[in-house]
Each structure stands twice: as structure tokens, then as C-alpha cells.
């Protein structure tokens, strides 16, 4: 067994941290945020600087967090995960019993990968993708009219949509000329209809993403889109690409132009750097940009194995989150990217974090003794400043914030106005918000009084590029699994999703009965029939 199954409150350092939390560092005190503190409270890796002088802890607290990392065995568990240990399990109870090897998708640049077989499979799929993209680029793969493909529709939901979509939007400044990508995820038919209206189907490829080949929402949307191709007189088989598990029902050359494989050991919400994201990103950005994404993610993965938390931003961010959540009692985290390109990144993190760590059972199968995953939310700045920052500054709920920013813009198209550029204004706002949350402001007018002592961290990089996007993605993936290790929970299953699916299928059976004017068995599942009636879908005779 590669993990330490000791619960957080059983670790020797827990009592020390609880004592420190009773009187945390006062960010509002005179000189508290000194030049020396700002310079010292910084961790860097893979193109990112994590500035955390605006967190409520001092040297003793930082030392305690280092001990927490050491005593929990977080790094050993992370290395065990990368090396192929079966991490997706609950001792003594039926569980998925899977390896967790999303890092192998980018562990292809090292002479000795942590898991040779998985890295080999990743290389094999990348080679297949490279050849496919080369056919498109050289005009060897075209439609029946000899025209190139200009558009790509990604059909998937959950991890097959959120992470890849976030990365695509983040890097749309680097799109290849005359290439566009579109996304259909919601089973709401209006989602598919709105996308289809924009397309010349004869020049559009469709990627259908489902590991099992049986995801209901994805298969429903696939059939809607297939129907549109048939109606347009086109053979879907010549346009549809499958991204699925090997030997799944979708691994079928009779229905798909090509198949790319995702493996059982890669969880959906950690799959953006697998073929789940790679096929779409390769089409939109090109193979070289895709490789840069993987390179950035791999460099952050390597930094995540550093023992010293001051050299490991992912582990440090995880520990700061635990300090705020478990010791200071703050139940939510706002992720605030000061980059419009990252507008979908908080949505990805909502799934990646809350589906991973929204657990109340330990890996020993026992009820957890403390709190686990926080609520994650956020929007890009500066727009958010004119929406919800009022609550962040003066509300009764303290919301720790994680700001993300870049020193340069992506397009380099900027305006000098009143002595500063737009990008300088953007970064100034980011830094000002972090400082204002920390220090507050005293005022005799209670309406203009800011209490301060509202913790935040700032992640800064030079520019949002494919490389830094890969690093940012991997940083948050590592942060999430580190927190799960320390809380002694399984961050890699999602049993909480299943009950709703079961009940949804029951309602679908009811709809089918109604459509066929069949007998309504009100004695079986009366509560769902009553809800259907209350929702106005049928009336009693």
C-alpha cells in the first residue's frame, strides 16, 4: 500500500496547526506585508510564480504546513500515483480499483517515464494523431469536393468537455488559420441546434468523446448531429471521429473515420491532456502547440515532486487551501483569472475539484472526521469586480481567493492611455484586489470600513501560451490530488453522480409509458410519478 491512511486530525502536526489557527497572522497590522515578506513568500516552477504574502500565516504556520505535507506522505502518494499504484479504491469495500495515470499522457519527454507502459500508449496515440493531422494539413484528407475541413465539433460532457473546452478558449489566440472548434455538451437539444446552425457540415469533422461508449447525453447528441448529416445528404462515417476506450461500442470502423483511445486509468476530469483533449486541440492549434501543452504539464508534474513546498507551487497551494478550509474555517474558494481567455477555467476546476474531493468517506471506508472539498467558483476579472467583489470585501462570508494573471497579453494589441497600457491596468487591478482583501481599510464611516484579513494567493506568469496553459492545468490537477491525499479520501471516483442517473432513467421510463399511452403503475415508484405530474407533464383522467 503506497498511501498513508492516517486522517488529517490524527497527524502529529494537527494540534500545532489548530493552536496557530486560533491566532492567525494579522494582515492588517502595521508593516505586516513588508517588502521582506513579499519577497520571501513566493514559490516558482514551470513558468509560474505563486505569491502568497497575503495569506494568514507566518513562518511558524509555513513550517507547520511543511510538516503536514511530510507527515501525510503526500509526495510519496503522488509518486505512487504516477508510477501506477492502484489509487482509485476504498479499502474493504467494492470500488473501481483503478490506476490513476493522467500524468503519463505527458510523461513522454523523459528518458525513464514513471510508468513505461502507459507513457508508451500515450506516445502511440500521439503518433496516430500526428499522422491524422498531417493528412489534414497536407490536403490528403479532404471532403468529396476536395475541400479542406475548417471546423470541428467536440461532442462530450463532463470531463470530455469542460477541461478541453477551457484549454481551447484559453489558447484561441493561437488557432490555426481557417480552423474553428465548437462544443456540444448539454443534452438540451437547443445546444446542438445552435451549433449546427453555424456550420457547413460538408467541411466539418465531429469528434465524439466517451470512454465507455455509452454516455447517454453524448450518444443522444451524436444521433442529433448524425441526423443533420444524413439530412444534408452526407455519410456521417466520413466525418465522425471516435475518442473512446479500446474495444468500446464506439471503437467501430463501420461508423467512424478514425478512432483514438483513452484508457481506463485516466479519469474524465483529468483527461484534457489525453486524446480527449488532444484530438480537438491538435485540429485547432496544430500538433506543435499540442506538444507544448504537454511539455508545460510535464514540467509542472516534475515540480510537484519537490519536497520543499517553497519549490512546489501545486503542493503549497494545496496546503494553503487546507489551512484556510480546515483550520480557519472558510468553506469556499474563488478562482479569479485576470485573463478573458480563461473564462471557462473556473468551470473546469469546479468539476475537477468538487467531483474529486466532494467526499465524506475516507479510503478506509469510514466517515470523515472533518471537512473535505470546498466549493469552487469564479469568473474572470475585471468583470467580476463589478459583480460579486462587494461580497468578497465586505460580506459576512470570508472567501479565500486564487488570482491568476499574466504580465503580457496574448495578442500584443494594446493601447497606451493615461500613461499605462490595458494589460498594465489589468495586472494593477489584480494586485490591488489581493492587497485590498488582505489589508482592508479603517474608516469612521462603517459603510466604508473594510475589515481586511481576507486571504488570497496570486499566480503569475509572463504570458498565457500553450506551454503555460499546460503548466496551469497540471498545477491544479496536482493541487486537487494532494488535498485528497491529505484528507485521506479517494479523489478519483464519482459515485455521487450515479444516483441522479438512476433516477433520471426512471423518469425516462415514465415518459416512454406516457408516449405509448400505456398503463401507469402508480404503486411502483409513486414519488417519481407524483413529481412528473406536479411538473405538468400529464393530467389524471
**What does each of the 541 residues of the chain score in pLDDT, given as a tens digit?**
456 789 999 999 999 999 999 999 999 999 999 999 999 999 999 999 999 999 999 999 999 999 999 999 999 999 999 999 999 999 999 999 999 999 999 999 999 999 999 999 999 999 999 999 999 999 999 999 999 999 999 999 999 999 999 999 999 999 999 999 999 999 999 999 999 999 999 999 999 999 999 898 999 999 999 999 999 999 999 999 999 999 999 999 999 999 999 999 999 999 999 999 999 999 999 999 999 999 999 999 999 999 999 999 999 999 999 999 999 999 999 999 999 999 999 999 999 999 999 999 999 999 999 999 999 999 999 999 999 999 999 999 999 999 999 999 999 999 899 999 999 999 999 999 999 999 999 999 999 999 999 999 999 999 999 999 999 999 999 999 999 999 999 999 999 887 777 888 888 887 777 667 555 566 677 788 777 778 887 655 4
What gap in Å lies between CA 140 and CA 460, rounded to an integer?
42
Secondary structure tally for the chain: helices H, strands E = 17, 15
Asked whether residue 454 is assigned to any structural domain, the reply reads no
List residues with catalytic annotation. Answer: 355, 386, 501
Asked whether residue 76 is assigned to any structural domain, the reply reads no
The domain boundary, picked from 294, 312, 329, lies at: 294
Question: Three-state DSSP class for 345?
Answer: helix
Range of the domain at 503: 496-534
pLDDT at position 1 is 46
Asked whether residue 63 is assigned to any structural domain, the reply reads no
Asked whether residue 93 is assigned to any structural domain, the reply reads no
pLDDT at position 2 is 52
Instruction: Identify the bridge partners of residue 253 per DSSP, sorted by sequence position.
Output: none
What gap in Å lies between CA 502 and CA 219, rounded to an integer?
17
**Closest CA relative to residue 464, chosen from 304, 298, 315, 345:** 345
Asked whether residue 348 is assigned to any structural domain, the reply reads no
The domain boundary, picked from 294, 327, 359, lies at: 294
Here the CATH number for the domain that contains residue 260 is 3.40.50.10490
Three cell numbers written together for 349:
476546476
Among positive and negative, which fits the CA dihedral 177, 179, 180, 185? negative
Asked whether residue 301 is assigned to any structural domain, the reply reads no
The domain boundary, picked from 294, 316, 338, lies at: 294
Asked whether residue 507 is assigned to any structural domain, the reply reads yes
Number of domains in the chain: 2
How far, in whole angstroms, is CA 495 from its chain's centroid? 18
Query: Mapped to the 3 state alphabet, what secondary structure does 302-327 carry?
Result: HHCCCCCHHHCHHHHHHHHHHHHHHH
Asked whether residue 261 is assigned to any structural domain, the reply reads yes
**Closest CA relative to residue 239, chosen from 364, 139, 143:** 143
pLDDT at position 510 is 76
Amino acid at each position: 500500500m503506497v498511501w498513508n491512511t492516517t486522517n488529517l486530525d490524527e497527524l502529529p502536526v494537527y494540534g500545532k496547526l489548530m493552536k496557530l489557527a486560533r491566532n492567525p497572522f494579522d494582515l492588517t497590522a502595521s508593516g505586516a506585508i513588508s517588502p521582506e515578506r513579499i519577497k520571501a513568500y513566493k514559490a516558482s516552477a514551470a513558468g509560474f510564480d505563486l505569491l502568497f504574502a497575503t495569506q494568514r500565516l507566518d513562518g511558524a504556520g509555513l513550517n507547520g504546513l511543511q510538516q503536514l505535507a511530510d507527515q501525510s506522505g503526500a509526495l510519496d502518494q503522488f509518486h505512487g500515483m504516477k508510477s501506477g499504484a492502484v489509487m482509485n479504491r476504498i479499502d474493504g469495500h467494492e470500488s473501481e480499483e483503478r490506476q490513476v495515470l493522467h500524468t503519463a499522457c505527458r510523461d513522454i519527454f523523459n528518458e525513464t517515464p514513471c510508468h513505461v507502459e502507459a507513457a508508451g500508449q500515450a506516445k502511440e496515440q500521439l503518433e496516430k494523431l500526428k499522422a491524422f493531422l498531417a493528412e489534414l494539413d497536407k490536403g490528403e484528407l479532404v471532403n468529396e469536393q476536395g475541400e479542406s475541413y475548417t471546423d470541428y465539433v467536440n461532442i462530450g460532457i463532463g470531463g470530455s468537455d469542460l477541461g478541453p473546452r477551457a484549454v481551447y478558449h484559453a489558447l484561441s489566440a493561437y488557432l490555426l488559420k481557417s480552423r474553428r472548434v465548437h462544443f456540444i455538451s448539454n443534452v438540451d437539444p437547443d445546444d446542438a441546434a445552435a451549433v449546427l446552425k453555424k456550420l457547413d457540415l460538408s467541411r466539418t469533422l465531429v469528434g465524439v468523446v466517451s470512454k465507455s461508449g455509452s454516455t447517454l447525453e453524448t450518444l443522444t447528441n451524436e444521433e442529433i448531429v448524425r441526423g443533420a448529416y444524413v439530412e444534408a445528404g452526407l455519410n456521417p462515417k466520413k466525418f465522425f471521429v471516435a475518442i473512446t476506450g479500446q474495444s468500446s461500442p464506439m471503437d467501430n470502423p463501420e461508423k467512424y473515420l478514425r478512432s483514438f483511445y483513452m484508457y481506463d486509468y485516466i479519469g474524465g476530469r483529468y483527461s484534457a491532456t489525453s486524446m480527449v483533449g488532444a484530438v480537438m486541440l491538435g485540429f485547432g492549434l496544430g500538433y506543435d502547440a499540442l506538444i507544448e501543452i504537454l511539455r508545460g504539464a510535464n514540467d509542472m508534474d516534475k515540480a510537484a515532486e519537490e519536497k520543499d513546498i517553497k519549490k512546489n507551487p501545486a503542493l503549497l497551494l494545496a496546503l494553503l487551501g487546507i489551512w484556510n478550509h480546515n483550520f480557519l474555517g472558510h468553506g469556499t474558494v474563488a478562482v479569479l483569472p485576470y485573463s478573458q481567455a480563461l473564462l471557462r477555467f473556473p468551470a473546469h476546476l469546479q468539476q475537477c475539484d468538487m467531483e474529486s474531493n466532494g467526499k465524506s468517506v475516507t479510503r478506509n471506508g469510514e466517515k470523515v472526521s472533518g471537512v473535505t472539498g470546498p466549493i469552487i467558483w469564479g469568473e474572470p476579472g475585471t468583470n467580476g469586480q463589478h459583480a460579486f467583489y462587494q461580497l468578497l470585501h465586505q460580506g459576512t462570508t470570508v472567501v479565500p481567493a486564487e488570482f491568476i494573471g499574466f504580465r503580457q497579453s496574448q495578442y500584443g494589441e494594446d493601447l497606451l492611455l493615461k500613461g499605462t497600457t490595458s494589460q498594465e491596468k489589468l495586472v494593477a487591478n489584480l494586485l490591488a484586489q489581493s492587497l485590498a482583501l488582505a489589508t482592508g481599510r479603517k474608516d469612521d464611516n462603517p459603510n466604508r470600513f473594510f475589515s481586511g484579513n481576507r486571504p488570497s494567493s496570486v499566480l503569475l506568469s509572463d504570458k498565457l501560451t500553450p506551454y503555460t496553459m499546460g503548466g496551469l492545468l497540471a498545477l491544479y490537477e496536482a493541487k486537487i490530488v494532494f488535498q485528497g491525499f491529505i484528507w485521506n479520501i479517494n479523489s478519483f471516483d464519482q459515485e455521487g453522480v450515479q444516483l441522479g442517473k438512476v433516477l433520471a432513467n426512471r423518469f425516462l421510463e415514465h415518459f416512454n409509458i406516457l408516449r405509448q399511452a400505456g398503463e401507469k403503475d402508480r404503486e411502483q415508484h409513486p414519488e417519481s410519478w407524483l413529481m412528473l405530474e406536479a411538473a405538468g407533464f400529464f393530467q389524471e383522467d
